[in-house]
Amino acid sequence: MEPEFVNLTPENLANEHLSCIIRVKKPHPGVEAKRAWLADRLREGHVFRKLQVKDPVFIEYAPLETAWVPIVGDNYLYVYCLWAYGASKGKGYGRALMEYCLADAREQGKAGVCMLGSKKQKSWLSDQSFAKKFGFEAVDATDDGYELLALSFDGTVPTFTPRAKAQRIERDELTIYYDFQCPYVPGHIATVQRYCEENGVPLTLIQVDSLQAAKDLPCVFNNWAVFYKGKFETVNLLDTAYLKRILKK
């Protein structure tokens, strides 16, 4: 039997697994936070399409106008995540998911599809080289190497907001902006909080809790953004080793 693709809906959200963290068997705070976040987003045209297998195989995208990212454009879709991992990797499922998204964009009469990329950073971002095989190309960039990748159907392109390209804030202490689009976020927040409390490191956590707050962010963002000494560091979720490297700067 061929594996089945399923789209999350308000009706099935409570009973379907969230593919990105399917391997966790016990209750997980990030999963429930993600479900709550999705419950509102699905009504806005957000799509979470997954393969019914015990591996993370899914795509997640939304109309750019309601996507919680500091990117603006007319009539685009924004891809948050595209994963095909574990035993299901290399079987064409990633291609099938991307093709579904592109077909959906064309059927809706969208101007194109976009996603966050980077010249240097690859972890915690969807596979940029894979996207470029479909024709995605860099249409905007920050001075520190983050890129906005887009596949335009009509010649128009989206852009980072001017404030996002600044990549600076006034605070010197470790500062993290986050939302609950990613179910791994609560666990990494707990890791950072524990380390900072144990080592006397000042920490400011800022939950991005609305679309307006996301569009007005002072940096690129997919669901997480880290600053230290006023300078943007990464959209990577932090483990202790990575955090120590940042704090040594």
Range with the poorest average pLDDT among 20-24, 136-140, 151-155:
20-24
Same domain for 127 and 189: no
Instruction: Give me the mean pLDDT over the 14-23 stretch.
Output: 79
Claim to verify: residue 125 and residue 189 sit in the same structural domain: no
Side chain identity, residue 229 = K
- Asked whether residue 206 falls in the same domain as residue 125, the answer is no
Same domain, 52 and 123: yes
The range of the structural domain enclosing residue 20 comes to 5-161
- 180: DSSP letter: S
**63 and 153, same domain (yes or no):** yes
Query: Within this chain, do residues 36 and 105 fall inside the same structural domain, yes or no?
Result: yes
Q: Which CATH number is 82's domain given?
A: 3.40.630.30
Residue 1's pLDDT band, with cuts at 50, 70 and 90, is low
99, 127, 161 - which closes a domain: 161
SS3 41: helix
Residues 149 and 196 in one domain: no
Two tokens at 81? 């995540």
Q: What is the pLDDT of residues 186-237, one digit of tens each?
A: 999 999 999 999 999 999 999 999 999 999 999 999 999 999 999 999 999 9
Do 37 and 100 fall into the same domain?
yes
Q: What is the pLDDT of residues 97-145, one digit of tens each?
A: 999 999 999 999 999 999 999 887 667 778 888 999 999 999 999 999 9
Residues 156 and 213 in one domain: no
Q: What amino acid is encoded at 149 in this protein?
A: L
Nearest alpha carbon to residue 179 among 151, 217, 141: 217
Burial class (CB in 10 A: 0-12, 13-18, 19+), 14: exposed
Q: What domain count does the chain have?
A: 2
Look at residue 2 in the predicted model and tell me its pLDDT.
66
User: Do 120 and 137 sit in the same domain of this protein?
Assistant: yes
- Spatial CA neighbour of 77 closest among 109, 51, 43, 36: 109
Same domain, 118 and 241: no
> How far apart are alpha carbons 103 and 217 in whole angstroms?
30
Nearest-CA neighbor of 147 among 171, 174, 134, 129? 129
What's the pTM? Answer: 0.94
176 and 151 housed in the same domain = no
Residue where a domain stops, chosen among 130, 161, 192? 161
CATH of the domain at 211: 3.40.30.10
And the tokens for 169?
């804030």
Question: Residue 127: what pLDDT?
Answer: 82
182 and 69 Cβ atoms separated by less than 8 Å: no
Of 128, 161, 194, which residue is a domain's last?
161
